[in-house]
Structures are given as structure tokens and as C-alpha cells.
Amino acid sequence: MARIYIDEKLCKGCGICVEFCPSKALRPAEVEGEPPKPIDDKCLACKLCELLCPDFAIAIEK
């Protein structure tokens, strides 16, 4: 199982990671501009969110 780390200081809550996650392992934040909520047990460790994050706020650990 993979673990999703989101640096809340770097994340601006743009939602790109949520939109492109193939396994829906990131849930949109309830408040606009806040980081998404990770669902680690759904993460496939494809690292697409890590690659697409414009703020380098996401890291995936296997």
C-alpha cells in the first residue's frame, strides 16, 4: 500500500491531483483553497499526482 503525503504549506488547493487521479485516492477539500484529503488504501502509487502538482506539494511513498 502507498502513502500520500501533502505538504499543506505548499498546496494551494488547485485540484489538479484530484481530477487526474485514476483511482480516486484524493478527495476534494471541503473548503476551497485547502489541500485535498488523501485516501491511502485507494492509492496505486502511479505518482501521477506527484508529477502534475504545480507546487511540488505531493509525495508518494510505497
pLDDT tens digit sequence for 12-39: 999 999 999 999 999 999 998 899 999 9
Instruction: Name the grid cell of 45.
Output: 502509487
Nearest-angstrom CA–CA distance, 54 and 62: 22
Percent of the chain scoring above 70 in pLDDT = 100
Write out the residue range of the structural domain in which residue 19 sits. 3-61
- The yes-or-no verdict on residue 62 having pLDDT over 90 is no
Name the pTM for this structure.
0.90
Q: What's the CATH code of the domain at 47?
A: 3.30.70.20
Residue 60: predicted pLDDT: 97
Domains: count for the chain: 1
- Which ranges in the chain belong to alpha helices (H)? 16-20, 48-52
